[in-house]
Amino acid sequence: MSLPPEKASELKKTIHDHLIKMDVHGKIREVLSETLKDGLGYGPHTFSEGDFLQALQRRGIIDDVMRDLQFNEMFAHLLYTNYSLILEKDFPNKSAPHVAEKNRLPLNRMDIDVARRYLHLQVLGGKAFLDHLQEPEPLPGQVCSTFRLYLHFRNQRFQSKPVPCACEPDLQEGFLLEVHRDGIGEGSRMADCTTMLSICDPVHLVLIKMDTSNETTLVSSYFLDWRSVLSAPSGRTCFSVELLGVGSESKVPAGVLTISLELYPPLVETLNVDIITTQQSLERQRSAEKERLFLVYAKQWWREFLEIRPSHQSKLVKIFAQDENGVNRPVCSYVRVLRAGRLLESPRQAARFVSLLADEKAPLVGGGAKQEQWCSLLAFVCRGKGDCEDHATLLCSLLLGFGLDAYVCVGTRAKGGPHTWVLTRGTDGSITFWESLTAHRYLHQAIDPDAPPLAPQPKPSSPYRTVGCVFNHQSFLANCQPTDAVPLCVFDLQNPSRWKAMSEEALRSVCAPGSTTSLPPIPPLCASSLEPAAASNQLELEMRFLVAEHRKDLEVATVWDDHLSYLLSSALAAYETERCTGVSCGNEEFQDAVRRAVPDGHTFKGFPIHFLHRNARRAFATCLRSQFCEEIVSCRGDHVRLAVRVRVYAYPENACAVWIMFACKYRSVL
As a whole number, mean pLDDT of residues 42-54 equals 58
As a whole number, mean pLDDT of residues 392-415 equals 95
pLDDT at residue 641, rounded to an integer: 94
Kindly indicate the confidence band of residue 447, based on its pLDDT and cuts at 50, 70 and 90: confident
pLDDT at residue 455, rounded to an integer: 73
Taking the C-alpha atoms of residue 376 and residue 380, their distance in angstroms, rounded to an integer, is 6
Q: How many CA atoms does the CB half-sphere of 86 hold within 13 Å?
A: 22
pLDDT at residue 309, rounded to an integer: 87
Reported pTM? 0.81
pLDDT digits (tens, 9 = 90+) for 120-137: 999 999 999 998 887 777
SS3 284: helix
pLDDT digits (tens, 9 = 90+) for 232-246: 988 899 999 999 999
As a whole number, mean pLDDT of residues 177-183 equals 72
Kindly indicate the confidence band of residue 288, based on its pLDDT and cuts at 50, 70 and 90: very high
Q: How deeply is 322 buried, as exposed, middle or buried, from its count of CB atoms within 10 A (0-12, 13-18, 19+)? A: middle
Kindly indicate the confidence band of residue 453, based on its pLDDT and cuts at 50, 70 and 90: confident
Residue type, 170: D
- The answer to whether the CB of 197 falls within 8 A of the CB of 267 is no
Sequence length of the chain is: 670
Beta strands in 426-495 (DSSP E): 431-434, 441-444, 464-471, 476-479
**Rounded to the nearest 10 degrees, what angle do helices 562-581 and 587-597 cross at?**
170
User: What does residue 444 show for φ and ψ, rounded to 5 degrees?
Assistant: -95, 130
- Identify the helix (H) or strand (E) that includes residue 35: helix 24-38
- The answer to whether the CB of 11 falls within 8 A of the CB of 115 is yes
pLDDT at residue 111, rounded to an integer: 58
Name residues whose C-beta falls within 8 Å of residue 180's C-beta, 6 or more positions apart in sequence. 113, 116, 117, 191
pLDDT at residue 339, rounded to an integer: 95
Of 210, 232, 244, nearest to 327 (Cα)?
Answer: 244
Of 308, 332, 313, 317, nearest to 481 (Cα)?
Answer: 308
**Average model confidence (pLDDT) for the chain?**
85
Asked if residue 340 has pLDDT above 90, the reply is yes
Q: How many CA atoms does the CB half-sphere of 545 hold within 13 Å?
A: 8
Greatest mean pLDDT range, 489-493, 581-585, 636-640, 648-652: 648-652
Taking the C-alpha atoms of residue 273 and residue 260, their distance in angstroms, rounded to an integer, is 17
Q: How deeply is 254 buried, as exposed, middle or buried, from its count of CB atoms within 10 A (0-12, 13-18, 19+)? A: buried
Q: How deeply is 206 buried, as exposed, middle or buried, from its count of CB atoms within 10 A (0-12, 13-18, 19+)? A: buried
As a whole number, mean pLDDT of residues 566-573 equals 95
pLDDT at residue 264, rounded to an integer: 86
Residue 555 CA from chain centroid, whole number: 47
pLDDT at residue 415, rounded to an integer: 82
Taking the C-alpha atoms of residue 586 and residue 576, their distance in angstroms, rounded to an integer, is 11
Cα–Cα distances (Å) from 98 to 45, 83, 93, 624, in that order, read: 5, 15, 9, 66
Taking the C-alpha atoms of residue 11 and residue 3, their distance in angstroms, rounded to an integer, is 9
Kindly indicate the confidence band of residue 100, based on its pLDDT and cuts at 50, 70 and 90: very low
Asked if residue 660 has pLDDT above 90, the reply is yes
